[in-house]
Chains A and B, each alone.
Chain A
Amino acid sequence: MTDQPLVPDTKAAPSRLRRALDSDLFYAFRRSPVAMISSAVAVGLILMAVFAPFFAVTNPFDPASLNLMNGFTPPMEPNAFTGETFFMGTDDQGRDVYSTILYGMRISLFVGFSAVLFAVVLGIILGLLAGYYGGWADSFIMRAADVQLTFPAILVAMLIFGIAKGITPVEHRDQMAIWVLILAIGLSDWVQFARVVRGATLVEKNKDYVSAARLIGRGSSLIMIRHILPNILSPVLVIATISLALAIIAEATLSFLGVGAPPTQPSLGTLIRVGQGYLFSGEWWILFFPACTLLALALSVNLLGDWLRDALNPRLK
């Protein structure tokens, strides 16, 4: 039931597509308007971010395309000097807000996906080790998890960011900021994956198929990866979806606080940080549109995660 691809893969052989379309999950998906709308919004936003150069009017980071005279143009109104009209207005340097949002969303999504991927891989490895071997590896990993859970994730991410910033030499700080951000959010988030994977591994490792694999002489790492892992992936998938929403918000929060993406590579959070400064002088659009985009992105991924949790939960059927 759960090993079907979530979004039907059109390039796969017809039989595979057929199977995906006939699955329980797809049936549940078609019956849920919330799931359909939120996935449409999420997929739409992700596609616009990935293909930002096609959707954007200008490249906001190409100085040649900027005209300072266009600065502070309100949305849908022609500029007083150049007569150009911008759908979402322009910021202080005359950059088209709509285009900066697309490029900013790219960075937000890149950081969000990478951080979750990092957390998932780390959590799965540590969870499998803890659950499969038990003993001191288990108590060591789980104690570390307990210690980390004592502190709120956003605080952990801030601390890691601060320490990593201290280590990197001054001249590389801006370039490294994105990677440091991924590391910080990923490391603050692995605990829940490790806990779930460990719990599921404890159940699976006593089942007959694992004993059988052990009996024919397969190695421990092969058993963990090829046999146990595929059977425990569905709860991981659910947490990963909800984590993605949280990671996007965490990234935006850190960037908003000025301890995240640098102004040279603005994410949605950085754009909101910049826009906040113009709120008092009436240029509301510089803040409003990035904030709405962030909200739409986080809310749609969050709702999708909630739906997925219910759809994959056999007890609710």
Chain B
Amino acid sequence: MVSFILKRIVQSALVLLITGAIAFSMFSFVGDPIDNMLGQERTMEDVERLRAQLGLDQPVPVQYVKFLKEAAHGNFGVSYRQGREVSEIIMERAPATLELAAVSALLAVVFGISLGVFTAIRRHGFTANLIMSASLIGVSLPTFLIGILLIYLFSVELGWLPSFGRGEVVQIGNWSTGFLTESGRKALILPAITLGLYQMTLIMRLVRSEMLEVLRQDYIRFARARGLSDRVINFRHALKNTMVPVITIIGLQLGAIIAFAIITETVFQWPGLGLLFINAIQFVDIPVMAAYLMMISVMFVVINLVVDILYAMIDPRLRVSAK
């Protein structure tokens, strides 16, 4: 068990080193930073001095270690486009994305699990079949089209909900929240549905198929023979046992929600990290791109690590095969 966890931690560290190398090498792709900083009028001495001052005269591995050290402290330099510290911009944008992702994840989990259980129990019912067919269309619809469709329906035609932005936000320390104002809550509804819908269908289909699998097993039949009520069987016996794989998938999907937020944030012009990243790509703003890349890889690696370790703790077979 310990060796398995150690192996996974080493592997995760390796992934971070590789993504770090990619982020680091991005900086050298767009020209010499010295050229960008000094401009036309300069002497050779100026160039040499700045090069030494920035540590660019040192060998690449030394520079890389220095980059990693700075990155670990959250320092990615100054955005080429906005001229401000990248860490500052990210801190400012993060609450928007995190609030959106949290609400979407909640929607996806609550509706995904309950619809999954419903469609599994009423397998042949009309409503259940309708939900299943609708989910098939939902999976093939690209996220951005769902967003546009919702905007058209609820903003353009009905005029109930705002089509872009976060509404009014309240500043609490460093955190800006949209939960406390009515316009903020209203603005959150459409983006959260758009972002959560795909994960919801995934969770729903997974819960349904796991549940159907479990309901076929002998102990369910035995529970029925004992005369237990349907509710006890479905929720106490069946749902509990379907939750193990479902929880892992939900864990992995949480990371995906933050990544897919890029699309939703662009459709709704939601001022979060995803929109920041897309704009950084469009304007080749390397420091912002590198910071986003590092941030998202740390997040994914940590989620994967935790899920793997949890899995090994729950499933003893993995422990044996890992040795």
Contact = CB atoms under 8 A, between A and B. Distances in A.
A binds B: yes
Contact of A151 (B142, B281, B286, B300): B300
8 contacts: A152-B259, A158-B277, A159-B289, A163-B29, A165-B281, A279-B152, A279-B156, A291-B148
A150 B22 contact: no
A166 B282 contact: no
A253 B142 contact: yes
A167 B29 CA distance: 5
A281 to B, nearest CB: 10
B154 to A, nearest CB: 13
Contact of A155 (B26, B140, B259, B301): B259
Given A154-B263, A166-B30, A259-B282, 11 more contacts: A150-B15, A150-B297, A151-B296, A151-B300, A152-B260, A154-B262, A166-B289, A272-B144, A276-B148, A291-B148, A299-B140
Interface residues of B, number: 39
B280 interface: yes
A134 interface: no
A147 B142 contact: no
Interface string A159-200: 101110111000000000000000000000000000000000
A164 B141 CA distance: 28
A151 B148 contact: no
A60 to B, nearest CB: 22
A302 B260 contact: no
Given A162-B289, A165-B284, A150 B140 contact: no
Contacts of A253: 142-144, 263
B289 A280 contact: no
Interface string B13-27: 001001000100010
A276 B148 CA distance: 7
Pick the 9 closest A-B CB pairs, nearest first: A162-B281, A166-B29, A155-B259, A249-B142, A152-B259, A259-B281, A167-B29, A166-B284, A166-B30
- Identify which of A147, A151, A249 gathers the most chain B CB atoms within 10 Å of its CB: A151
Name the residue among B18, B278, B281, B293 with the largest chain A CB count within 10 angstroms: B281
A159 B304 CA distance: 20
B47 interface: no
A302 B140 contact: yes
Contacts of B289: 159, 162, 166
Nearest to B164: A280
A279 B284 CA distance: 29
A110 B74 CA distance: 41
Contact of B141 (A152, A166, A295): A295
Nearest to B304: A150
Nearest to A256: B144
Given A152-B260, A291-B148, A299-B140, A257 B266 contact: yes
Nearest to A160: B22
A294 interface: yes
B245 to A, nearest CB: 17
Given A165-B281, A167-B29, A295-B141, A279 B297 contact: no
A58 B285 CA distance: 39
B201 interface: no
Interface in A103-121: none
A317 to B, nearest CB: 22
